[in-house]
Structure 1
Amino acid sequence: MEKPMTAETSPPAVEPLEQFQRWTDLIGRGQQTMLEFMTREPAADANPDPFGMMATWQKVAAAAAADPAKLVEMQTRFMTDSLALWQSFLTPGADKPQVKDKRFKGEAWGEVPAFDLMRQSYLLASQYILDATANLDGLDARDKAKALFHTKQFVDALSPSNYPLTNPEVLKATIDTGGENLLKGLDHLLDDLKAGRMRMTDETAFEVGRNVAVTPGKVVFENRLFQLIQYTPTTPDVFETPLLIFPPWINKFYILDLTPEKSFIRWAVEQGLTVFVVSWKNADASIADVTLDSYIGEGMIMAIAKVLEATGAPSTHTIGYCVAGTTLAAALAYLTAKGEADKVASATFFTAQVDFGDCGDLSVFVDDAQLDGIAKLTEGKGVLDGRYMASTFNMLRSNDLIWNYVVNNYMLGKDYLPFDLLYWNSDATNVPALWHQSYLRDLYRDNKLIEPGGISVAGVPIDLSTVMTPSYVQGGKEDHIAPARSAYRISRILGGPSRFVLAGSGHIAGVVNPPSQMKYQHWTGPADAPTLDAFVEGATEHKGSWWPDWMAWLAPQSGAKVPPRVPGEGPLQAIEDAPGRYVKERI
């Protein structure tokens, strides 16, 4: 039954002339936005299918046509289920399917039967479309993965929640506010178009060095690739062996130093570790020549040397997060080949991969067509715009990281909420084009890192099986960037003793999970399990963060306690306060 209009729900009184002017302005600004986009001149050499999407659809169409009986059978089942759905809506008191999809959980979707039927019909159709794509014969595994990915993008885009006239929550907000939500949403859209990216949070609420990345420390070394930050100790003594953290250079390091309550770096300092972190430079023309050799030699090997110089310790613990974990594994093999493996006491891998044979949906972006498209994007520039990669990662969870904000920001006109994690996620970084293309080609596409001698660093063949450094490998149960199955392979490929821990949640929340919050869970299991499935079968679940488990593993390998090391008072002089200049460079 339709709710009666009340003083609380009725639109505010507006003079007819003022209302006419408001809607005229809304329509005019909307038309202007569309005209500006429609009249842009395409590049003379524009490729109508730069990433091979049409080629994928052609293969899908051919596979579907090759087995018409299966297509007819699927259509028959769909019609049967559709009729059953209609029947449930036409029958008083009949049980209706429960909707668990959070796009449609708002009460407005259930208040009007027409909208309820619309969402149920969409969910039924989308499931059939995805199932039909997944069950196509005649496609190899890579083509099927691409087909599923692109199909899901289209299915998600066609959701009735994404359009004002088919979203009852948007319609209600438009009536209640007299269209103010759409005007405000258009302002948001225009601001985002000017910025060249979709905002997800109130970016004015945060500032690097003011309320994120605030753990006290000093920059004690810098070169063209990175600044090295040493953090101020907070304990009366510290372990002899320091800790050096390598964050990914495709993001800013302060994901590990958000607010003080969430900061892994602050927590590690409180455990009595002398903590260093590498703050990578946001790529520009000055480092356009950088390759994997550079990130290992000028980056990781140099940082290790400087940490040992600063502390006088014979070795250092290391952490590599995501792509930096992949590169850390190669650096360890390089050090092993050079007879210098003893410089690293242990290696911890946060959601990293070395075997890319099962790398999840990102495999969609590494065929020849995709690589050619990326080459065109970076031609003559030397760097890949970080907003491209941010969009790629957002597409992996398009409902949460794209369409959710289209609805809330542009159609409902909601104010941006302050959220430190989303602020960091929006703080994109450029990457060197040479490195990025070789990384996708040699590791993601050709999977050469797991082949002994498959790649070389500074002329030295890399063999991961020779690495005897003790390792701690963390994977995220719901990781959509570095799937847990792939992360687990590190513990099987490196030659030394290894401990694997499976964390609840995904690529970020699975890592940034302070013990004080008592969120999620983690699993420990047999050290000799050949696969992740075997590990899970014998695993024990523990509530809360995995950080204490890591510290319990690390402490016995960390030497005796020594007086705390104050940054800038040792062999390396302080250059500036943490978090330094490099992390503040934005695109």
Structure 2
Amino acid sequence: MSDQTEQCNTLDRALHAAQARLTGGLSMAALAIAWTDWALHIADQPGQQMKLARQAAQDWTELSRQALGFPFKPLNPEPQDHRFKDPGWQQGPAAFAVQAFLRAERFWDTATKDTAGVSGKNERIVNFTARQMLDVVAPSNFPGCNPEVLAKAQATSGESLRQGVRNLVADLRSASNTKTQPLPMKPGKDVAITPGQVVFRNDLLELIQYAPATESVRPEPILIVPAWIMKYYILDLSPHNSMVNYLVSQGFTVFCISWRNPDASMRDVSLDDYRRLGTMAALDAITAICGADKKIHATGYCLGGTLLSITAATMARDHDERLATVTLLAAQTDFTEAGELQLFITDAQLHFLDDAMWSQGYLDAQQMAGAFQMLRANDLVWSQMIRRYYLGEEDHPNDLMSWNMDATRMPYRMHSEYLRKLFLNNDLAEGRFESDGRKISLADIHVPLFVIGTETDHIAPWRSVYKLQQLNSGDITFVLTSGGHNAGVVSEPGHPHRHFRKLEHKPGDLSIPPDEWQSQANCEEGSWWPDWAAWLANHSGTPINPPQTGAPKAGYKPLGHAPGTYIFQR
């Protein structure tokens, strides 16, 4: 490439990086292409326009009847929409505002769906952005229209609004502070306190070996592979809801990866580096510590589960038989139905995002947080604004909320490969994905699999997670649990209002479509953790004495107490 060409490319990248800082990483070109695609097609469809005009006329008729006090057909919010739960929304002008808003939502949902000729990706973008724009003008966002806000202001003689202003000022000062904000619950003190030792460290990870809590343990250790898009201690929160602590108490030897928080020096780290220097390095360490005759239960969460599935397929290809079982927690292997996160995965958007990451060597944590907040703007943006600034309520962070503040970055090369090869091209599911320069297949994994999907997951929708059964015909136990991407996994015994469904698929069984599966699986109350622990025990040997901590002769000596050092990188 000539110097002039490189200079031109550098100029384009610098411009896109500057634009990304203003738009939160969203490509305006991608949005413009989507809306142009929709507008041109709907402009050429008079029949669709007539259908929409008819619906608008019917809505205006119903709203007029409501305004004049005549009987009308009300619309109800979606079950997950809690903005209008307060009884004050059911009467007077507030009730009219709700009906007008719900009818506008329905109109634009109809207008931006099923428009013939519009590409599926562009249609999803248009529908999503229309919904986002409507959410901005929802009547609940305006204090003068919100009966709950007015009632509390009256009951407190305006103190709730004054406190809301104080909260807003405090948040503005906090946002302008360039220093990293302290966490309400500190790792190693309030969370991530299960006893253990760091027994291995490289440039990518620290491997923690947790101390035994029982006199004897199952001979097969457990390796936990968390996602590096988050800190590992989502699985080791407070003692009562720590998955690590629970597994140790059930008589298992547990190891967990704590990923390094990437900086600019890691810009060229690849997805295969995460397999080679991550999961494989951890497996080598565990083999040295527990013995080459001990197979390993491998567990992966979210992106860590996707990496684990790649690792397991690579090991199967290479005849590496160290795995006893594989557990995937809310982890996708087929990305054709990857939920609303696909909205940000188009060629135009990824080209723009590549340039944004190129300028700094990583994807900033705030850019990722902004994308996830947009997926659930009602819960994570607008309802928080109403609660904190209009109702004057203070935050009372729990362990999960505190962990959510402890965001991480993503290396430039790895994240680009992950989005393009998995999300955009679906190479893993379609047999094109290469590991160590050679193709792999998920069908080659022949160890028992325990797969978790969660009912309200916006990151890894359970029907997407379920698709593994179309890619692997082996022994798969699929569990669908209540909750979302985080709360469904952190579902400890004794947690109220929890339930799950479970069915086993044995080799030779016919495939069951997801909706039929959901109706066939029996619903059980409580946590899925005990069932998983029993499943692991059934695939384990007779308990033995706990292994030593580390293997100094093999180069795996204790390097310090858990939770290690990488967890504190912010």
CA contact (8 A) 2:457 2:483 kept: yes
Aligned pairs (5 A) from 1:326-475? 326-340=306-320, 342-452=321-431, 454-475=432-453
How high is the sequence identity, in percent, across the aligned residues?
Answer: 35
CA contact (8 A) 1:478 1:505 kept: yes
Structure 2 SS opposite 1:517: coil
Q: Could you tell me which amino acid in structure 2 is paired with residue 167 of structure 1?
A: N
Query: Structure 1: how far apart are the matches of 2:252 and 2:221?
Result: 6
CA contact (8 A) 1:225 1:287 kept: no
Q: What CA deviation, in whole Å up to 9, does each residue of 1:533-552 have, x standing for no partner?
A: 23223211111111122122
Aligned pairs (5 A) from 1:126-165? 126-165=105-144
Answering whether residue 190 of structure 2 is matched by residue 206 of structure 1, we say no
CA contact (8 A) 2:67 2:96 kept: yes
Q: Could you tell me which amino acid in structure 1 is paired with residue 158 of structure 2?
A: T
Q: CA deviation at 1:371?
A: 0.5
Aligned pairs (5 A) from 1:532-551? 532-551=514-533
Aligned pairs (5 A) from 1:250-289? 250-289=229-268
Answering whether residue 477 of structure 2 is matched by residue 499 of structure 1, we say yes
CA contact (8 A) 1:521 1:542 kept: yes
Structure 1 SS opposite 2:325: strand
**Which stretches in structure 1 are left out of the alignment for 5+ residues?**
1-41
Query: Structure 1: how far apart are the matches of 2:279 and 2:299?
Result: 11
Q: CA deviation at 1:441?
A: 0.7
Structure 1 SS opposite 2:112: helix
TM-score by structure 1 length?
0.86
Q: CA deviation at 1:495?
A: 5.1
Query: Structure 2: how far apart are the matches of 1:222 and 1:44?
Result: 33
> What residue number does 1:577 align with?
561
Query: Structure 1: how far apart are the matches of 2:336 and 2:503?
Result: 23
Answering whether residue 44 of structure 2 is matched by residue 66 of structure 1, we say yes
Q: CA deviation at 1:439?
A: 0.8
Query: Structure 1: how far apart are the matches of 2:185 and 2:363?
Result: 26
CA contact (8 A) 1:230 1:275 kept: yes
Q: Could you tell me which amino acid in structure 1 is paired with residue 246 of structure 2?
A: W
Structure 1 SS opposite 2:189: coil
Query: Structure 2: how far apart are the matches of 1:523 and 1:87?
Result: 45
Query: Structure 2: how far apart are the matches of 1:156 and 1:566?
Result: 56
CA contact (8 A) 1:215 1:231 kept: yes
Q: Could you tell me which amino acid in structure 2 is paired with residue 582 of structure 1?
A: Y
Query: Structure 2: how far apart are the matches of 1:68 and 1:301?
Result: 59
Q: CA deviation at 1:350?
A: 0.5
Pick closer, same or farther for the CA change 1:78–1:441 going to 2, 3 Å. same
Q: Could you tell me which amino acid in structure 2 is paired with residue 133 of structure 1?
A: T
> What residue number does 1:23 align with?
none
Q: CA deviation at 1:321?
A: 0.8
Pick closer, same or farther for the CA change 1:360–1:44 going to 2, 3 Å. closer
Query: Structure 2: how far apart are the matches of 1:556 and 1:83?
Result: 64
> What residue number does 2:298 align with?
318
Q: Could you tell me which amino acid in structure 1 is paired with residue 242 of structure 2?
A: S
Query: Structure 2: how far apart are the matches of 1:79 and 1:184?
Result: 45
Query: Structure 2: how far apart are the matches of 1:531 and 1:130?
Result: 27
CA contact (8 A) 1:174 1:182 kept: no
Q: CA deviation at 1:94?
A: 7.9
Q: CA deviation at 1:170?
A: 3.9
- Select 2:86's aligned residue among 106, 119, 123: 106
CA contact (8 A) 1:488 1:531 kept: no
Pick closer, same or farther for the CA change 1:468–1:43 going to 2, 3 Å. closer
Q: CA deviation at 1:369?
A: 1.3
CA contact (8 A) 1:218 1:575 kept: yes
- Select 1:56's aligned residue among 28, 31, 34: 34
Query: Structure 2: how far apart are the matches of 1:319 and 1:242?
Result: 11
Please say which of residues 189-198 and 457-466 is displaced more in the overlay: 189-198
Structure 2 SS opposite 1:391: helix
> What residue number does 1:24 align with?
none
CA contact (8 A) 2:164 2:388 kept: no
Q: Could you tell me which amino acid in structure 1 is paired with residue 524 of structure 2?
A: H
Aligned pairs (5 A) from 1:216-295? 216-295=195-274
> What residue number does 1:307 align with?
286
CA contact (8 A) 2:16 2:352 kept: no
Query: Structure 1: how far apart are the matches of 2:59 and 2:158?
Result: 39
> How many residues were matched structurally?
539
Query: Structure 2: how far apart are the matches of 1:329 and 1:531?
Result: 22
> What residue number does 1:565 align with?
547
CA contact (8 A) 2:476 2:504 kept: no
Pick closer, same or farther for the CA change 1:379–1:118 going to 2, 3 Å. same
Structure 2 SS opposite 1:266: helix
Pick closer, same or farther for the CA change 1:282–1:168 going to 2, 3 Å. same
Structure 2 SS opposite 1:114: helix
Structure 1 SS opposite 2:381: helix
Q: What CA deviation, in whole Å up to 9, does each residue of 1:207-255 have, x standing for no partner?
A: 1111111111111111110000111111110000000000000011111
Q: CA deviation at 1:197?
A: 12
> What residue number does 1:22 align with?
none
CA contact (8 A) 1:350 1:475 kept: yes
Pick closer, same or farther for the CA change 1:524–1:46 going to 2, 3 Å. closer
Structure 1 SS opposite 2:336: helix
Q: Could you tell me which amino acid in structure 1 is paired with residue 539 of structure 2?
A: Q
Structure 2 SS opposite 1:380: helix
Q: What CA deviation, in whole Å up to 9, does each residue of 1:522-572 have, x standing for no partner?
A: 112251334322322321111111112212221122112111235358753
Q: CA deviation at 1:288?
A: 2.0
> What residue number does 1:177 align with?
158
Pick closer, same or farther for the CA change 1:197–1:487 going to 2, 3 Å. farther
- Select 1:193's aligned residue among 175, 197, 207: 175
Query: Structure 2: how far apart are the matches of 1:69 and 1:584?
Result: 59
Q: CA deviation at 1:204?
A: 5.0
Pick closer, same or farther for the CA change 1:420–1:463 going to 2, 3 Å. same
TM-score by structure 2 length?
0.89
Query: Structure 2: how far apart are the matches of 1:563 and 1:163?
Result: 63
Q: CA deviation at 1:171?
A: 4.8
Structure 1 SS opposite 2:467: helix
Q: Could you tell me which amino acid in structure 2 is paired with residue 403 of structure 1?
A: W
Q: What CA deviation, in whole Å up to 9, does each residue of 1:11-70 have, x standing for no partner?
A: xxxxxxxxxxxxxxxxxxxxxxxxxxxxxxx98974895451122111121122122232
Q: CA deviation at 1:92?
A: 7.5
Pick closer, same or farther for the CA change 1:477–1:172 going to 2, 3 Å. closer
Structure 2 SS opposite 1:272: coil
Aligned pairs (5 A) from 1:30-41? none
Structure 1 SS opposite 2:186: coil
Q: Could you tell me which amino acid in structure 1 is paired with residue 98 of structure 2?
A: R
Q: CA deviation at 1:256?
A: 0.7
CA contact (8 A) 1:347 1:471 kept: yes
Q: Could you tell me which amino acid in structure 2 is paired with residue 194 of structure 1?
A: S
Query: Structure 1: how far apart are the matches of 2:141 and 2:188?
Result: 37
Query: Structure 2: how far apart are the matches of 1:220 and 1:44?
Result: 39
Q: Could you tell me which amino acid in structure 2 is paired with residue 252 of structure 1?
A: K
Please say which of residues 557-566 and 382-391 is displaced more in the overlay: 557-566
Pick closer, same or farther for the CA change 1:519–1:170 going to 2, 3 Å. closer
Q: CA deviation at 1:492?
A: 2.9
Structure 2 SS opposite 1:475: strand
Pick closer, same or farther for the CA change 1:540–1:107 going to 2, 3 Å. closer
> What residue number does 1:75 align with?
53
